[in-house]
Chains A and B, each alone.
Chain A
Amino acid sequence: MLKYSVLIFFLLCRMAPLYCLEQDSSVSIKLYHSLTGVKEPNFTERSTITIHSLRSGQAIVDQKPLSQQDKIQLQKLAINNEFYQIKAVATAADGSKQEFISTLKACMLAEAELDERLSVSLDYTGRVIGITSVVASKGTCEGSSVPLSKFKDFTTNVYVRHSETGPIPDTATYIQKLEREREARERGDTKDNRSFIAKYWMYIVPVVIVMLISSASNPEAGGGN
């Protein structure tokens, strides 16, 4: 029984000029997971992710629901501070398959209530170089017991991360800056033709205040006597 769960998520890629996939292609990823730990991994099917357009990064996740036994196994992994491993088989548009493995701490996954993020990294041609599953959190854990009720279904956000274009030395702005400075030197600087008061008010006003205060205190002293 397939259940279509949560679709499409944020794009992490920034503006278009920074990366430019020359040809857009699609990738289909089959995810398997091992609920028996990493020492003797036994991979079972978990979900299928289809990314129709790598440039836009939108993904459709087709997730199998978790059976009660799976949930119990996951809970056990989390209590024993073991690792949860996934195997991703990525099939590119031209049919080539690649296998990637990624490991998480089961207790982190349990504490996050099965909310994981899948990061699909591409190289400059659009080939998948790595698929990593991470849990967004600020710290790790060392085994935690989470009640079974918190284990619902996996929430997978897929982030397609493109390769950026490297920078080029910015000679144009530097040359312009030099030109401007040279011109400024040749032209002579700005004229300072504000009024006298405008230039020197900072020095006149305190003197005035001091005079007022001293005259205010003097008449008082004079009047007091």
Chain B
Amino acid sequence: MSSKQQNRRQKWILDNTRTNKADLASPPAYVSSCVPQSHEVSKKTDINRLITKKSWDLALAPVKQLPMNLFLMYMAGNSISIFPIMMVGMLLLRPIQAIWATKATFKMIETNTLGQMIVYVLGHLLNIGLALFKCQSMGLLPIYSSDWLAFVEPPMRQEYLGGGIALH
């Protein structure tokens, strides 16, 4: 079975590396000395450039999402009802989840991507910042003293008083 398969494969493969035909004449103007290295070099740099370009794309993706989120938040309005809250919640949670999964996202890129990871994380942080700004304009952020009023403990009483009208 395996030989049949192998034969089938061999039928269709253009295998340039097999040199069973020993001396084939080289085509005209072909110099057999210097070309392959530059190919490989250009291939390597091409690949590198592609990789860095891809990683930068990945890193800048959250920043590109920022204007859209901005617009979305503007449309959501400042009232407190279910859809605005859901949208703000998602805007807050997705960047956080993405930050946790940074390593996984950048795993497929083998080269060192520290800069890109930092930019990626920063982009998500900006999104979180936008969500917090939206919370603040909705009035949900507890930055005023009245928000912490419920946690203020009543002061302890130092002096104790008793008595009343003199009965005699």
The residues of A with any CB-CB pair to B shorter than 8 Å are 140, 206, 209
A209 contacts B71, CB within 8 Å? yes
Contacts of A140 in B (CB 8 A): 158
Residues of chain A contacted by B71 (CB below 8 angstroms): 206, 209
For A210, give the chain B residue with the smallest CB separation: B71
What 1/0 mask marks residues of chain B from 56 to 85 whose CB sits below 8 Å from any chain A CB? Answer: 000000000000000100110000000000
Map CB proximity to A onto B131-160 as digits: 1 under 8 Å, 0 otherwise.
000000000000000000000000000100
Collect the chain B residues with CB atoms within 8 Å of residue A209's CB: 71
Measured in the bound complex, the distance between the Cα atoms of B71 and A140 in whole Å is: 56
Give a binary string over B75-119; 1 marks a CB under 8 Å from any A CB, 0 the rest: 100000000000000000000000000000000000000000000
Are A206 and B75 within 8 A (Cβ)? yes
Q: Smallest distance from the beta carbon of B156 to chain A beta carbons, Å?
A: 11
A–B complex contacts, Cβ < 8 Å, 5 sampled = A140-B158, A206-B71, A206-B74, A206-B75, A209-B71
Q: Which residues of A contact B74 (CB under 8 A)?
A: 206
- Cα–Cα distance between A206 and B71 once the two chains are bound (Å): 9
> What separation, in Å, do the CA atoms of A140 and B155 have in the docked complex?
14
The smallest beta-carbon distance between A83 and chain B, in angstroms, is 12
In the complex, chain A residues whose CB is within 8 Å of the CB of B75: 206
Q: Which residue of A lies closest to B75 (CB)?
A: A206
CA distance A140 to B157 in the complex (A): 12
Q: What CA separation (Å) do A209 and B71 show in the bound complex?
A: 9
Q: In this complex, what residue of A is CB-closest to B67?
A: A213
Q: Considering the chains assembled together, what is the distance between the CA atoms of A140 and B156 in angstroms?
A: 13
Task: Tell me how far the C-beta of A138 lies from the nearest C-beta in chain B, rounded to whole angstroms.
Answer: 11
- Distance A206 CA – B77 CA, assembled complex (angstroms): 13
Which residues of the other chain, B, contact A206 by a CB distance below 8 angstroms?
71, 74-75
State in angstroms the CA–CA spacing of A140 and B159 once bound together. Answer: 11
Name which residue of chain A comes closest to B74, CB basis: A206
Which residues in A have their C-beta under 8 angstroms from that of B158? Answer: 140
Q: How far is the CA of A140 from the CA of B158 in the complex (A)?
A: 9
